[in-house]
């Protein structure tokens, strides 16, 4: 996982799992030290419908 935006704000620690839309990593938010889950969705190699991915993102964005 080498996204510049993620690396700028988070320290990625380890892979937690893989799902139908991507890979979930455990990370640390650099400013607060808070433990977070980071989901990396590879849109280029994902065969799933973009609407399904957007629906999952909407649900995940409500988790805090």
Higher pLDDT residue, 25 or 63? Answer: 25
Number of structural domains the chain divides into: 1
What CATH number does the domain containing 27 carry? 3.30.200.20
39 is in an annotated binding site: yes
Q: Please report which helix (H) or strand (E) contains residue 6, including its range.
A: helix 4-9
**Residue ranges making up the domain that contains 8:** 4-60
User: pLDDT digits over 5-62, tens only?
Assistant: 888 999 999 999 998 778 999 999 999 999 999 988 877 765 667 788 788 888 888 8
Of 30, 50, 33, 28, nearest to 41 by C-alpha is 50
pTM, to two decimals: 0.70
């Amino acid at each position: 996982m080498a996204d510049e935006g993620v690396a700028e704000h988070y320290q990625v620690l380890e892979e937690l799992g893989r799902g139908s839309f991507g890979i979930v990593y455990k990370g640390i938010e650099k400013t607060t030290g808070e433990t977070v889950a980071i989901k990396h969705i590879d849109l280029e190699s994902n065969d799933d419908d973009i609407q399904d991915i957007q629906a999952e993102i909407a649900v995940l964005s409500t988790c805090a």
